[in-house]
Amino acid sequence: AQSVTQLGSHVSVSEGALVLLRCNYSSSVPPYLFWYVQYPNQGLQLLLKYTTGATLVKGINGFEAEFKKSETSFHLTKPSAHMSDAAEYFCAVSASGSNYKLTFGKGTLLTVNP
């Protein structure tokens, strides 16, 4: 079974500051890891994903995340926050042979202050 823990249900940053959203996972088999973003009144859309290969993955809108197996982490970062980054972010995990099931964390609401 897989699980995800997102540290901090709400993160507030100033425009131009570093964004760091934390995600730790638990998986008994090699995981696939994902970050999704949800803007108000919309569905989720994929930001980035790690399946195999390079552990630093880049996504849309300047976000990136690093898979650290030893720390069971997959934290999301962006060097400089924009007002448009304000949204809810979800970390998710699945196993490569999981019958296609994705397990989501509880989400982190990012607020960007001017």
Partner 1 sequence: NAGVTQTPKFQVLKTGQSMTLQCAQDMNHNSMYWYRQDPGMGLRLIYYSASEGTTDKGEVPNGYNVSRLNKREFSLRLESAAPSQTSVYFCASTPSGYTGELFFGEGSRLTVL
Helix (H) or strand (E) holding 32: strand 31-38
Question: Cβ neighbours of residue 6 under 8 Å, at least 6 residues apart?
Answer: 21, 22, 23, 89, 90, 91, 105, 106, 107, 108
Residues 36-65 that bind partner 1 (CB under 8 A): 36, 41-46, 49, 51
Q: By C-beta, is 12 or 14 nearer to partner 1?
A: 12
Q: How far is the CB of 56 from partner 1 (least distance, A)?
A: 18
Of the candidate residues 40, 54, 100, 114, the single one contacting partner 1 (CB under 8 A): 100
By the rule CB under 8 A, 26 interacts with partner 1 = no
Q: What is the DSSP string of 36-95?
A: EEE-TTS-EEEEEEE-SS-SEEE-GGG-EEEEETTTTEEEEEESS--GGG-EEEEEEEEE
Q: Give the Cα separation of 29 and 49 in Å (integer).
A: 17
By the rule CB under 8 A, 72 interacts with partner 1 = no
- Scanning 20-28, 60-68, 75-83, 93-101 for contacts with partner 1 by CB under 8 A, the matching segment is 93-101
Q: By C-beta, is 69 or 106 nearer to partner 1?
A: 106
By the rule CB under 8 A, 12 interacts with partner 1 = no
Residues at the contact surface with partner 1, assessed by CB under 8 A: 9, 32, 34, 36, 41-46, 49, 51, 90, 92, 94, 99-107
